[in-house]
Amino acid sequence: METHDHSPGENTQPAGANQHAPLHDHTPNPRGRAFFWGGIGAGLVLVALLLTHGFGLWGRGGAAEEAPAVVHQGERIFVPEKSPLRQRLTVAPAPAEASSAVVKAPGIVEADPARTVNVLPPGAGRVREVKVALGDRVQRGQVLATIDSPDLAQAYSDYDKAGAAALLAAKNLRYQEEQLRIGAAAQRDLESARNDNQQAVAEYERARVHLRAMGAAEDAQGEGRLLMVRAPAAGSIIALSVAPGATINDDTQPIMTLADLSVVWVTALIAERDLGSVARNQDAEIAVDAYPGKTLHGKVLFVADVIEPDSRRDKTRIALPNPDAYLKPNMFATVTLRGALLERVVLPSSALLMNNDRTSVFVATAPWTFERRTVQPLLDEGTQVVIESGVTPGEQVVIKGGILLND
């Protein structure tokens, strides 16, 4: 029989008694505590790495890295197969439509110079009466003002003397002819009488022409011998620079300006870059602020051959009928000129991108490969833009989402 020695303090419980040991053993265990705190530290380090570098580190050797959105290949941009941009880009062929070059320019209403007259006084003197006011409409031959004029008085004096001299010369000629017929006068006397009569008639005619040039009536007497300023044409008084009592010393200075406004000019100020699209007899549409919603139609009368040095613009004139004088000189206007129909590319405005001071689009040169192309837009009508140059019909253009390719 085998004997077991037990030292003092040693556990003497039977082997089966361990099945009913307590669940928590409070006996100190240094190795267990080290393993526990080491696990917590490793977890904190893993969390810090995930927060700093992203969850892409998880399983680095298993999952593939995310593909780039675009790849730059020199001047071109390639969109890889797994790029999310492929779902956000819309590419379509550039269509060609018949459109006309449209030029818009500011304008101003002006009186036609060929229908504008500066009214000059026929002679010097003192203004007795002004019969019209600024803005009045007058008829041809209407009296505008009356002037007490020494020049007219001298003209009437010359006319009266010439008339009397002509009568005397005619009477003397008849007398000499009668005397020669009866043999009481010499032929030389008759020739002298004829010469005197011709000179008197010429002087009388000169005096009559002078009166007509001054607008005076030959048979006027008394108060009728005032210098009358008459309207040379029908029109409106657009400038007035004289008043009753004023003294006129210089008959080369106009006292008023008369303009026939039944036809007016609209002068469009065309920029240099648009001159190639403007020509004589071109259709024009004119809008003025005074009549919103109303469009006037005319044709280009002429395009000036000289650019204005201050504004660097060309003055292009459009003649418009103005029977009711609803167009006033110095009104501002907006002029739209339309050229002949041409086949041009028309793109949606969403395709255009601003790149510094230029307008550009992205054009596909190969599948999912794009290059930036500078374009020259002509007209923006809502959502459609006419392109003058930069894109040819049929080229594949990014019409939506191009901003995502913009640098």
Alpha-carbon Rg for the chain, nearest whole angstrom, is 52
* pLDDT the model gives residue 315: 94
d(CA 64, CA 77): 23
- Looking at per-residue confidence, does 350 or 379 come out higher? 350
C-beta of residue 136 within 8 angstroms of C-beta of residue 236: yes
Average pLDDT, the chain: 82
Cα within 13 Å of Cα(67), Cβ side? 12
| pLDDT greater at residue 375 or residue 215 | 375
- Please tell me the predicted confidence (pLDDT) of residue 45: 40
Per-residue confidence (pLDDT) for residue 380, from 0 to 100: 65
Q: What pLDDT sits at residue 170?
A: 94
Strands 235-240 and 247-248: unpaired
pLDDT-based confidence at 42, cuts 50/70/90? very low
Give the Å distances, CA to CA, from 4 to 1, 15, 99. 10, 14, 117
* CA 30 – CA 43 distance, rounded (Å): 21
pLDDT of residue 343: 82
In whole angstroms, give the CA distance from residue 246 to residue 223.
19
pTM of the shown model: 0.56
According to the model, what pLDDT value does residue 319 have?
A: 93
Q: Are 379 and 102 in contact (CB under 8 A)?
A: yes
Domains detected in the chain: 77-99+342-404 (2.40.420.20), 105-113+260-340 (2.40.30.170), 115-145+227-259 (2.40.50.100), 150-225 (1.10.287.470)
**pLDDT tier, 307 (very low <50, low <70, confident <90, very high otherwise):** very high
> Among 156-160, 364-368, 379-383, which stretch is predicted with the lowest mean pLDDT?
379-383
Q: How confident is the model at residue 223 (pLDDT cuts 50, 70, 90)?
A: confident
22: pLDDT confidence band, cut at 50, 70 and 90? Answer: very low
Q: What percent of the chain has pLDDT over 90?
A: 50
Asked whether the predicted pLDDT for residue 61 surpasses 80, the reply is no
* 35, pLDDT greater than 50: no
* pLDDT value, residue 261: 92
Residue 297: pLDDT over 80: yes
Considering only residues 88 and 61, tell me which one the structure prediction assigns the higher pLDDT.
88
Query: How does pLDDT run across 383-406, given as a tens digit for each residue?
Result: 888 888 899 999 999 999 999 987
pLDDT class for 321, splitting at 50, 70, 90?
very high
First to last CA, the chain: 96
Q: In what order do the strands lie in the sheet with 235-240?
A: 116-119, 256-259, 235-240, 137-138
- Are 92 and 396 in contact, with CB atoms under 8 Å apart? yes
Higher pLDDT, 340 or 12: 340
Q: Which of 103, 104, 101, 105 is CA-nearest to residue 386?
A: 101
Does the pLDDT value for residue 21 go beyond 80?
Answer: no
pLDDT score of 30 more than 50: no
pLDDT of residue 77: 92
CA gap 352, 360 in Å, rounded: 6
Mean pLDDT across the stretch 63-68? 60
**Residue 250 confidence (pLDDT):** 86
Instruction: Burial-class residue 328 by CB neighbours within 10 Å (0-12, 13-18, 19+).
Output: middle
Query: What pLDDT, in 10s, does the model give residues 142-194?
Result: 999 999 988 888 888 999 999 999 999 999 999 998 888 888 878 888 899 99
Measured in residues, the chain has a length of 407
pLDDT confidence of 228, banded at 50, 70, 90?
Answer: confident
- Give 14's pLDDT tier (boundaries 50, 70, 90): very low
**Environment class of 251 (CB within 10 Å of its CB; exposed 0-12, middle 13-18, buried 19+):** middle
**What pLDDT sits at residue 323?**
87
pLDDT average, residue stretch 91-118: 89
* Cα 69 to chain centroid, rounded: 44
Helix, strand or coil, per DSSP, at residue 395: coil
* DSSP conformation letters of 144-156: EEEEE-HHHHHHH
Q: What are phi and psi of 189, to 5 degrees?
A: -65, -35
Residue (of 227, 212, 220, 246) closest to 148 by Cα position: 227
